[in-house]
């Protein structure tokens, strides 16, 4: 894809992104695109050439699930991005694998309130495995990119709670502040290299482990913001224009000052970086596992050999940065606005 076409697509996504609501998105466009991009470099050597050939699409597609509800009018999309853990009773043993099993155990009315993120991930995992089995190139790319988005959602602590925007603790606006402003502002220092992808023995158990881990971090996310607020002058918390008016983001939410953002970010002790790295690793693990479970089809058959050979020079260049934990070669939506 040419740089001009990429920029046009990014601008279109940026325009559509004005329709986001805080509960529907996690990590913002910056985070999701870095997750998808980084996961490609984490794959085994048998998978990397094919995925790298299409890394532009995989990166750009990262934000599409957040837009689907608004672009296509899909009323069922929103609940696929979160799981509110508080209403669930204690579960002994494994959590249900499918939505049908979950509805039989918890009741459909409860699930409509709590969200369905883990069952969306399991469903996408099944679909990706089938796409590999059928050697359906377009479906592999589309589903892999979407699956990565939902896995990214699972690593965002505020996507595991009823208090998703701090509205229950007097911290309204913390969702966008935590997942978008902080990584966009400080993410250039993050190390995304999470090691090599591994086969997952039990994907359902793994994704629940990720979700429960994320939920356990919720108190740290909220308390760090509270601590920063209490230690900061009230008139220095928000960014202001030349007239002294508080600036707002595309959601109409107040933008925090760089100084206050740094105070909050420092108190998180690299929590965001660790969760984004977890998202990269988990995404690659799921892609790898789906490919293995499908019988390891030869992905090199999907693209002309000359395309793969042509891309190897760029891959080797990008790999040098990846070994240092850095991602290059793309602009996220937030970086061109």
| Domains of the chain in sequence order | 3-335 (1.10.575.10)
Residue 254 predicted with pLDDT over 70 = yes
Closest CA to 279 of 126, 128, 157, 162: 157
Reported confidence tier of residue 252, pLDDT bands at 50, 70, 90: confident
Reported confidence tier of residue 26, pLDDT bands at 50, 70, 90: confident
Closest CA to 40 of 52, 32, 29, 31: 52
Structure tokens at 286: 């799921």
CA distance 253 to 17: 14
In tens, the pLDDT along 285-310 reads 999 999 999 999 999 999 999 999 99
Residue 4 predicted with pLDDT over 50 = no
Residue 11 predicted with pLDDT over 90 = no
Q: Are 128 and 135 in contact (CB under 8 A)?
A: no
8-state DSSP, 96? P
Residue 88 predicted with pLDDT over 80 = yes
Residue 177: exposure state from Cβ atoms within 10 A (0-12, 13-18, ≥19): buried
pTM (predicted TM-score): 0.91
């Amino acid at each position: 894809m040419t740089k001009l076409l990429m920029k046009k697509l990014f601008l279109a996504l940026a325009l559509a992104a004005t329709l986001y609501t805080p509960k529907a998105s996690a990590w913002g466009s910056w985070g999701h695109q870095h997750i998808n991009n980084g996961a490609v470099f984490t794959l085994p050597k048998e998978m990397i050439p094919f995925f790298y050939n299409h890394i532009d699409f995989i990166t750009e597609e990262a934000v599409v699930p957040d837009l689907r509800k608004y672009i296509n009018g899909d009323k069922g999309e929103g609940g696929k991005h979160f799981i509110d853990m508080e209403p669930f009773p204690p579960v002994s043993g494994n959590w249900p694998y499918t939505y049908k099993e979950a509805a039989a155990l918890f009741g459909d009315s409860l699930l409509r309130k709590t969200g369905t993120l883990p069952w969306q991930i399991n469903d996408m995992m099944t679909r990706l495995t089938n796409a590999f089995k059928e050697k359906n190139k377009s479906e592999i790319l589309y589903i892999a990119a979407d699956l990565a988005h939902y896995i990214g959602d699972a690593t965002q602590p505020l996507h595991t709670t009823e208090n998703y925007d701090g509205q229950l603790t007097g911290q309204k606006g913390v969702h966008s502040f935590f997942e978008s402003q902080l990584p966009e502002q400080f993410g250039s220092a993050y190390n995304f290299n999470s090691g090599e992808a591994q086969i997952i023995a039990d994907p359902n158990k793994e994704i629940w482990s990720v979700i429960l881990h994320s939920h356990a971090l919720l108190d740290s996310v909220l308390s760090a913001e509270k601590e920063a607020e209490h230690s900061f002058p009230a008139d220095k918390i928000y960014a202001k224009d030349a007239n002294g008016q508080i600036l707002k983001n595309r959601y109409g939410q107040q933008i925090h000052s760089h100084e206050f953002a740094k105070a909050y970010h420092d108190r998180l002790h690299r929590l965001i970086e660790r969760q984004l790295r977890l998202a990269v690793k988990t995404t690659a693990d799921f892609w790898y596992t789906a490919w293995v479970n499908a019988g390891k089809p030869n992905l090199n058959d999907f693209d002309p050999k000359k395309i793969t050979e042509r891309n190897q020079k760029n891959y080797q260049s990008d790999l040098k940065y990846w070994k240092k934990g850095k991602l290059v070669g793309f602009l996220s939506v937030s970086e061109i606005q």
